[in-house]
Structure 1
């Protein structure tokens, strides 16, 4: 308990008076009309010391006595604002924190931004690293404040399958004078969980020095 508050309560206890909300309103009104502390105390029925500290409530001096700056104590959380984001997996509802004076600015999804379709690239990058759908959803929740369902994640990862198949079936040159073959082992998720699988990389150079993988 800070000194200013304890002094106020001690003065009130000595006067045998605890201020009600109506009395506090009356004190503030009389003070604005120019009444002296003793005149206000006489009307309310307490000591002028109690009136003095009552008028200090919420002032910068009182806040400084509590070790807080006025800027820190003036603003407070004020619930959440619903917002719908557009992603490549569909619309996702989120709740954006807000404050009383409107000074809070979200950093991940700024104000008035509703399109976060770039999230697709992040999901694909995590999926390529072998992360499970649950881990991907948890990571997105940590970053953006909302979770993607398994169906939404599958929709994103399946969206590149057509491009992958097209690339795998593209026509190659008839002849490559130089061919390099290498193999790496990567962790891949299958029906039986994650296991190390061999991935072969074949790099070929054509007659013009251009390379194909």
Structure 2
């Protein structure tokens, strides 16, 4: 039964989410937290792990959740389910899009989808940021040394991303900054 649950939920996520893995984060987060498969901290950690490992974010996230919930068979089930809708849709749409790409309705649909995806990505950023920059459920403890380190890494990463630096370099520098700043903090304290 858990495999069917994983398959149906990840198939729906794959089917109804446009914009890739970042746009899927809120839906996966809702699924995971509502089923109590992980807590919020584990969720943030698994997003970070999924982002830093090779491959598409949505595949990494679904594989990780499936594995946590039902081991290797769960990972296979979730991964297959999240990828299947894209495969089916691409096969069906590829030929039709070329024929209808200048159609006013198709252009209008695409113009509506693009900002919706930006909104979903923004919601994912705010959701993850809210969990990164708070301690427990307390907003009053937002200015901790860990959060200051995180803020420095966020700002550095954003500046590098705006300057079109390679994402692998940004991730490696973020990891290096985390190590350096945490090490420096332990020496000072």
TM over 0.5: no
- State TM-score, norm by structure 1: 0.27
Higher RCO, 1 vs 2 (CA within 8 Å, ≥6 residues apart): 2
Normalised TM-score (structure 2): 0.29
Answer 1 or 2: which has greater helix percent: 2
Rg (Cα) greater in structure:
1
Which structure dedicates a bigger proportion of its chain to strand?
1
